[in-house]
Each structure stands twice: as C-alpha cells, then as structure tokens.
Amino acid sequence: MPKAKMPSKKVAKKIKKNKKIKNRKTESIKNDGIFNFDEQVIEEPRKKVTKTAQKRKKSKKAKNVDLDQEHFIGENEVKHIDKKKLEKIKKEKLKEKRTKEKELAKEQKRQAKIRKQRAKQTKKARMTEEQIRRNRRIKTIIKLFLLLAVIAGLIIYLMLSPIFNIENINVEGNSSISSEQIISLSKVQKDINLFKVSNKDTIEAIKENPYVKSVEIKRTLPNTITFVITERVATYMLEYGGSFAYIDNQGYILEISANTKEGLAKITGYETSQDEITPGSRLCQNDLEKLNTVLRITASAKTNNIDSLITSINIEDSSNYTLFMESEQKTVYLGDCTNLDTRMLYVKAILEKEKGIAGEIFVDMNLNEKYPYFRQKV
C-alpha cells in the first residue's frame, strides 16, 4: 500500500485552523442543545488581488464614503441642497454684515463728533473773556475781508464788461440851463463803462454852473445814465455897474446880465465888493445876514398881497430898511423890522388909504409909543 502524501505546511495550517473553528462551533452547539458534528467549515483559499484592483477598490470605497457623507447622516437621509439658494443666503449674510459695518462706522463717526463738540465746549469754557473777544474780533475781520474781496471782484467785473457801456445820457429837472450844457460840464461820453463814471467828480463838474444847486446821478442798467438837476432860482438882483447880478435866496450869485428880469426886486446898499461879485460866489457875511431880513420882508409883503409893488429894497442901514414902490410913487421906512407883520399891516392900510398919492410911509418908530403915518411929497 503506497504511503500517503504529506500535505504542505500551508495546507496543514488551514486544516488546523478549520479544526479550531469546528471545535468552537461544536461547543456553541452543545451549549445551545443542538448536535451536528458532521458540519465542517472549510475556508476557501484567498484569491490574489492585483494592484490595479486594489486601486479600483479604494476609489470605489472613497466614492461610497463621499456619497454616504453627502446623503446620509447615520440612518437619516439628507435632502439635496440647491446651490443657487446657498449663494443667495451667502449674499444676504454678506450684505447684512456690510450693513452692520456701515452702521458701526456711522456710529463711530457720530461718537467722534460728539467727543469733538465736548472737547470744544470744554476748551471754550476754559477760555477767558478776553480770549473770546479776541476770537470774535478775528472772525469779524475775516468776514469783512471776504466781503470786501467779493465786492472788489464784482466792481472789477462791472467795470470791464462792455455790456455796461453808456449809450444814452439823459438830463431831468433843468429849466434855466440846457441839457447840452449839463452833459458838456459832466464830461461823460458815450461808449464809456457806466460804472467808470465817478459820482463825486461828475457832480462837482456840473455844479460849476451857479444855477445848479444839486445833482443826482441815476444809472439804469445796462447802458443809460441820467442827471437829475435841482436848480437855483433867481429871487433878487444887485446893481453891478451898468449891469445886474442875479442872486438866489441863499446869496449865491447866479448870473451877471445887462438885462433885467421882470418880477425881481432890486437890492441896494450891499457891502460885498465889486471884485467878489462873480458867478458862483456868494455875498459877504453881513449881506447874508441882511438878506435873511429881506426874505422876511418879502414873505410878510406876500402875505398882505403887496409884494409885487416892491421894486427896490435898501439894506445899507440895518436899523432902518427902506422899500421903494415905483408904481405907487411911495417910499416905506420899516425900521429894524421888529414886529414886522404889524408894521406890514400898517403899510398896507396906508397904501389903500393914500392910493395914487406920492409920498413917504413911516413905520420905523416904536409902535408902542407912536403910530405910523404918511407924508405926502411936495
């Protein structure tokens, strides 16, 4: 009988292992009350696994793990997440974050402003009254400087702009002197800038004419200038050699002419020298004081409607003013003109009583002691 072939070491190990497994199962069956001694567990030999197969297995396992992590947590399935919705949520969170940052920055700015104001108030509280006044003066000076700069800029603009060149020159309020004379005196010409005309120089130039009492210059934008004239009016005349010098009620000599003007009374007995009687000049001080009395005489005579009868007034003696009435052929001696209205009433009464009779009326006495009287001319 041939000898039995001895199994290899590898196979012997497997048989030994199988016996151990069989013995464990037999013991467990015995413990459970089930007897099956014929069952035999034989472990199949392991197949050899190549490297490529191992890689595939690992890749598949990793993929399964990813799927498990994505769709499963324990035994509960996780719903699929919408990527657009996820992006929207992220944007909203980012927007909310930025809004909070803006609000925080705004609040920080507000707090900084409050701190600055408090610091300013604290500093102001610490300042002395003298320092506060000095700061106010400095601020006022700065404001005035800025205002002057703005005004200067505006003046420069107006003076350089051709829009404001003069095209029309008007004269108003003149009667004794012509418009052409006033424009000639003003030296204002067309095509000159409206604001280059100096008011002071122009007014002085126009007032060189004695009849001009005052001048007002009006500018009408963009190209018109108007001279508003207030004239002096001749109220009396002086004998000047063979001519007459016309004066107004302020004693200004307006004109020297050989012709007389109707309705004007002549003043005689004045002290002003012949050399001083020139157009534009004024009577001397003594004559100006006497002229005030003459104006009172004229006003009182006008009240009594006899002013038109007076042709001449002599002022040589301030204690006895004398009136000449050529049409009535009478001379009136008024005295120093105290109680002038009463004296003029006597003159009026005598004129009415002695109408047409040449003579002299005397009212130069003290009216409390004597009465006025008329003396007929012989």
Residue-wise DSSP of 71-119 = HEETTEEPPPPPHHHHHHHHHHHHHHHHHHHHHHHHHHHHHHHHHHHHH
Q: What is the pLDDT of residues 114-161, one digit of tens each?
A: 988 888 777 766 667 777 788 888 989 999 999 999 998 887 877 777
Note the CATH number of domain 236-376: 3.40.50.11690
For domain 163-231, which architecture applies? Roll (3.10)
Element (H, E) at 245: strand 243-247
Q: What is the pLDDT of residues 194-244, one digit of tens each?
A: 888 999 999 999 999 999 999 999 999 889 999 999 999 999 999 888 899
**pLDDT (0 to 100) of residue 65:** 47
- Say which residues have a Cβ less than 8 Å from residue 276's Cβ, sequence separation at least 6: 284
Is-same-fold flag (163-231; 236-376)? Answer: no
Q: Which band of pLDDT confidence, cut at 50, 70 and 90, is reported for residue 301?
A: very high
Orientation angle between helical segments 285-303 and 340-353, nearest 10 degrees: 50
Long-range contact pairs involving 212-216 (C-beta distance under 8 Å, separation at least 24): 212/177, 212/182
Domain assignments of the chain as residue spans, ordered by start: 130-160, 163-231, 236-376
d(CA 196, CA 165): 9
Q: Is 328 helix (H, G, I), strand (E, B) or coil?
A: coil
Task: Pull the structure tokens for residue 325.
Answer: 């009435």
372 pLDDT higher than 90: yes
- How high is the mean pLDDT of the chain? 83
Q: Which band of pLDDT confidence, cut at 50, 70 and 90, is reported for residue 43?
A: very low
